[in-house]
């Protein structure tokens, strides 16, 4: 067979591999097998990942992929996948792309029609949510808040009426200020949880109202060390808020539907009583 007649190799797979957030025992057997067999591993910090791999006796080529080079590197990695190589994507800890690099590579691979396969495992936000004792059926992940104080306060104020449980990542040098701003934005009595150093030796999960939690963190220097997930209970349901939302929906639907149907749909979507909406009319009516 001549070189020109050789078949095109099948495209490779991009494996998105979750790594431990603290306890090395959380690297699954499947994750270890994938990392042992890929052609190369794309890592946020190759020094950190090399230590992790060394613990498990894994030796594979590493490619640094971080926020500063991902734009330029994604196309080249996609070409490697097209040529038949199989790659793994890892972050320093937890599930890649969750407040970590990797989005551009995954998006480029999918746009090229290549297979992207998850190898699930540790995630700090899910770990925190699972032990917080706050409503978990609906939640919002906000990642890291802005470092600038004014922008952080604006973001928290914008979330004050959010009814779903809120989750934030925070660093040790901003946890005090973040909790103080949360007290101002959500009120001192709002329930919350501060989860610190999850799965690590000094793991703590503190719960209570925001004012109490802030005071505990301020009073104990140990509670200002490490990596944090802060969870805040959503805003309480308000009959007045539901009625206002129902009336807004009814006003938007009434010009296009019979009044009874508009009231029924608005009531179902908002939770407001149907009788309180029927006959409200449209703005200006």
53-62, 86-95, 269-278: segment of lowest average pLDDT: 269-278
Q: What is the dihedral of CA 161, 166, 168, 173, to 10 degrees?
A: 60
- The residues, any chain, with a CB within 8 Å of residue 173's CB and separated by 6 or more, are none
Q: How many Å apart are CA 49 and CA 92, to the nearest integer?
A: 7
Structure-token match 């994938």, residue found:
34
Q: Which domains does the chain have, with CATH numbers?
A: 11-122 (3.40.1010.10), 125-232 (3.30.950.10), 239-277 (no CATH)
Q: pLDDT tens digit string along 33-69?
A: 999 999 999 999 999 999 999 999 999 999 999 999 9
Closest C-alpha to 162, from 127, 188, 190, 189: 190
- Cβ count near 148 (within 10 Å): 9
Q: pLDDT tens digit string along 161-186?
A: 889 999 999 999 999 999 999 999 99
**Cβ pair 81, 11 in contact under 8 A:** yes
14-23, 63-72, 86-95, 272-281: segment of lowest average pLDDT: 272-281
Q: How many Å apart are CA 94 and CA 170, to the nearest integer?
A: 15
> Could you give the C-alpha distances from 90 to 17, 34, 74, 97, 202, in angstroms and in order?
5, 11, 14, 9, 25
Closest C-alpha to 190, from 159, 221, 152, 218: 159
């Amino acid at each position: 067979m001549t070189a020109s007649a050789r078949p095109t190799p099948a495209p490779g797979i991009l494996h998105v591999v979750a790594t431990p957030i603290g306890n090395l025992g959380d690297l699954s057997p499947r994750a270890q097998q994938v990392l042992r067999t890929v052609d190369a591993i794309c890592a946020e910090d190759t020094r950190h990942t090399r230590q992790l791999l060394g613990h498990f006796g894994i030796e594979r080529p590493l490619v640094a992929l971080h926020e500063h080079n991902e734009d330029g590197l994604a196309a080249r990695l996609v070409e490697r996948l097209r040529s038949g190589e199989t790659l793994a994507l890892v972050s320093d800890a937890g599930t890649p792309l969750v407040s970590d690099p990797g989005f551009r590579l995954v998006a480029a691979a999918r746009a090229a029609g290549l297979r992207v396969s998850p190898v699930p495992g540790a995630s700090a936000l899910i770990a925190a949510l699972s032990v917080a004792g706050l409503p978990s059926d609906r939640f919002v992940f906000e990642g890291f808040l802005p470092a600038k104080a004014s922008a952080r306060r604006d973001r928290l104020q914008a979330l004050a009426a959010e009814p779903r449980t809120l989750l934030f990542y925070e660093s040790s040098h901003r946890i005090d200020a973040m909790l103080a701003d949360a007290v101002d934005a959500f009120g001192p009595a709002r329930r919350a949880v501060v989860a610190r150093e999850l799965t690590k030796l000094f793991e703590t999960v503190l719960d209570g109202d925001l004012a109490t939690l802030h005071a505990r963190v301020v009073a104990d220097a140990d509670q200002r060390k490490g990596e944090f997930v802060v969870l805040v209970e959503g805003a309480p349901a308000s009959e007045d808020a539901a009625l206002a939302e129902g009336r807004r929906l009814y006003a938007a639907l009434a010009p296009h539907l019979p009044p009874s149907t508009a009231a029924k749909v608005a009531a179902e979507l908002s939770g407001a009583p149907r009788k309180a909406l029927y006959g409200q009319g449209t703005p200006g009516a």
